[in-house]
């Protein structure tokens, strides 16, 4: 096993629990290794952990443990058991949650979502790919799922140089996996985005449900309708869903039917949400509760400026079609746009619209996507609900 020695004077984040080690933080590597293999890591000649290495990644080493222990099946099984126990503490007997949240569970490169009796996993690194058989065996022994679907990140597979997989790898299951959260029926789409459903907004959606009674609601970037269906279950008068994906709208309509929601309670628009907001504004169409939850607008630091402009335009347009004194919810899952910056964007949009913002609720990702303070990157989701008041009236 190769030994990786870090440079003197590196940032304390690695010693204090951050699992990422970049190439420029390494002084030397002693011994031979293959990409994806486990290595020992030392700082000032002191052992600080074990992780897997990959020369093809900007993050050269990702630490798995701070202890000098064997990374084998029993280790993996113990790590997964710890994650299960944590979710049981949070959710009790609920059957749907994110089981493994990468770095948040000190398991970098691995995502596992549990949808009722099925699991969907996503592998993002070569190191995790090489541990895959032990991971699958451990999940089967601990959970005994009806099936496991693997849906890897294709871009990561190319960079890290492992075999991309999308399909059932243990037993089989439906294309649309049924499950419930907050007492509402949904589907995880194995042909959809990421693992098929975004579980990180579950508590924020519950707040929307509480506030939606008798309101005419707009659900922008709706995907398969998490927020809008929560609003309808909370007594919303009507919901307008916007999404560019015909597949997402197909699943959304099936979900609406599954929850016995009448067709006169909603409209579906296959459209670009940015464009549709402009059209509604131009036609003087307004809503009692506007919700916008866009995909990440920045994947790298070079695109942050464009993301900030995009968020500003999006929030500005969405506020303009929110009735005076009504509710406006906005979210960002862009980790690189921090909370203070996001709040400034929202305020700038309100200022340009001459609106007063009254914060009703501030949320973030649900605790099955744990934020670890030692690892800044684990915190990514921002969610706000405001009442908007026109200062010109």
Task: Mark whether 40 and 84 lie in a shared domain.
Answer: no
User: Nearest 10 degrees: CA dihedral of 131, 133, 135, 141?
Assistant: -150
Instruction: Specify the pairing of strand 238-243 against strand 216-220.
Output: parallel
| 392 confidence band (pLDDT: 50, 70, 90) | confident
296's CB contacts (< 8 A; 6+ apart) are 333, 334, 335
Whole-structure pTM value = 0.95
CA distance 213 to 331: 21
CA distance 49 to 1: 13
> What per-residue confidence (pLDDT) applies to 393?
61
Task: Mark whether 313 and 380 lie in a shared domain.
Answer: yes
| 298 confidence band (pLDDT: 50, 70, 90) | confident
Residue pair 273/219 in contact (Cβ under 8 Å)? The answer is: no
CA distance 250 to 140: 32
**pLDDT per residue as tens digits for the range 250-268:** 999 999 999 999 999 999 9
Task: Mark whether 168 and 182 lie in a shared domain.
Answer: no
- Would you call 89 exposed, middle or buried from its count of C-beta atoms within 10 A (0-12, 13-18, 19+)? exposed
Residue pair 150/181 in contact (Cβ under 8 Å)? The answer is: no
Task: Mark whether 205 and 116 lie in a shared domain.
Answer: no
Task: Mark whether 14 and 156 lie in a shared domain.
Answer: no
Whole-number Cα distances in Å, 50 to 5, 218, 321:
12, 48, 53
Domain residue limits at 348 = 178-390
Last residue in a domain, options 65, 91, 118: 65
**In 3D, which of 212, 238, 228 has the Cα closest to residue 327?**
212
Q: What is the mean pLDDT of residues 149-158?
A: 96
Last residue in a domain, options 173, 202, 230: 173
Last residue in a domain, options 124, 140, 173: 173
Q: What is the mean pLDDT of residues 340-360?
A: 97
Quickly count: other Cβ atoms within 10 Å of residue 49's Cβ: 23
Percent of the chain with pLDDT over 70: 99
Task: Mark whether 81 and 144 lie in a shared domain.
Answer: yes
Task: Mark whether 372 and 385 lie in a shared domain.
Answer: yes
Percent of the chain with pLDDT over 90: 94
**In 3D, which of 133, 116, 21 has the Cα closest to residue 73?**
133
What CATH number does residue 88 fall under? 3.30.750.80
Task: Mark whether 206 and 246 lie in a shared domain.
Answer: yes
Locate all alpha helices (DSSP H) within the chain, ordered by sequence.
73-91, 126-130, 132-143, 154-160, 202-211, 226-233, 246-258, 273-282, 304-320, 339-352
Residue pair 101/381 in contact (Cβ under 8 Å)? The answer is: no
**pLDDT per residue as tens digits for the range 171-195:** 999 999 999 999 999 999 999 999 9
**In 3D, which of 390, 281, 301 has the Cα closest to residue 341?**
301
Task: Mark whether 359 and 271 lie in a shared domain.
Answer: yes
- The answer on pLDDT for 383 being more than 80 is yes
> What per-residue confidence (pLDDT) applies to 377?
94
CA distance 169 to 147: 8
Q: What is the mean pLDDT of residues 52-58?
A: 97
CA distance 102 to 104: 5
- The answer on pLDDT for 98 being more than 70 is yes
CA distance 196 to 367: 19
What CATH number does residue 50 fall under? 2.30.130.10
DSSP code, position 113: E
| 9 confidence band (pLDDT: 50, 70, 90) | confident
> What per-residue confidence (pLDDT) applies to 385?
98
DSSP code, position 199: G
Q: What tokens does 135 get?
A: 């991971």
Task: Mark whether 82 and 108 lie in a shared domain.
Answer: yes
Task: Mark whether 272 and 345 lie in a shared domain.
Answer: yes
The count of structural domains within the chain is: 3
Task: Mark whether 220 and 149 lie in a shared domain.
Answer: no
Place of tokens 């999940």: 139
**pLDDT per residue as tens digits for the range 25-46:** 999 999 999 999 999 999 988 9
């Amino acid at each position: 096993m190769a030994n990786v020695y870090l440079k003197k004077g590196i940032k304390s984040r690695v010693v204090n629990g951050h699992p990422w080690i970049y190439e420029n933080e390494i002084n030397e590597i002693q011994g031979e290794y293959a990409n994806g293999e486990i290595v020992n890591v030392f700082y000032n000649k002191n052992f600080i952990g074990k992780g897997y290495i990959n020369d093809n990644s900007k993050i050269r080493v990702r630490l798995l443990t701070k202890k000098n222990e064997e990374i084998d099946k029993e280790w993996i099984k113990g790590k997964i058991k710890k994650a299960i126990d944590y979710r049981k503490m949070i959710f009790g007997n609920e059957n749907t949650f994110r089981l493994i949240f990468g770095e948040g569970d000190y398991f970098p490169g691995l995502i596992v979502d549990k949808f009722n009796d099925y699991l969907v996993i996503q592998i993002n690194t070569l190191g995790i790919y090489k541990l895959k058989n032990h991971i699958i065996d451990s999940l089967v022994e601990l959970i005994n799922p009806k099936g496991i679907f693997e849906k890897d990140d294709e871009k990561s597979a190319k960079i890290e140089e492992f075999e991309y997989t999308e399909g059932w790898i243990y037993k089989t299951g439906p294309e649309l996996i049924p499950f419930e959260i907050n007492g509402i029926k949904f589907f995880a789409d194995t042909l959809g985005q990421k693992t098929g459903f975004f579980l990180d907004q579950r508590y924020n959606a519950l707040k929307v449900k509480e506030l939606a009674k008798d309101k005419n609601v707009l659900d922008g970037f709706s995907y398969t309708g998490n927020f809008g269906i929560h609003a309808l279950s909370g007594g919303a008068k009507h919901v307008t869903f916007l999404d560019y994906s015909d597949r997402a709208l197909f699943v959304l309509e099936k979900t609406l039917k599954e929850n016995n929601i009448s067709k006169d309670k909603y409209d579906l628009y296959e459209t670009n949400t940015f464009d549709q907001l402009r059209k509604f504004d131009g036609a003087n169409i307004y809503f009692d509760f506007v919700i916008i939850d866009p995909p990440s607008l920045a994947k790298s630091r070079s695109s942050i400026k464009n993301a900030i402009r995009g968020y500003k335009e999006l929030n500005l347009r969405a506020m303009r079609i929110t009735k005076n004194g009504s509710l406006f919810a906005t979210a960002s899952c862009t980790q690189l746009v921090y909370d203070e910056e996001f709040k400034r964007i929202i305020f700038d949009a309100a200022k340009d619209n001459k609106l007063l913002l009254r914060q009703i609720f501030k949320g973030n990702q649900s605790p099955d996507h744990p934020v670890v303070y030692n690892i800044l990157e684990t915190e990514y989701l921002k969610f706000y609900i405001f009442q908007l008041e026109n200062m010109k009236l």
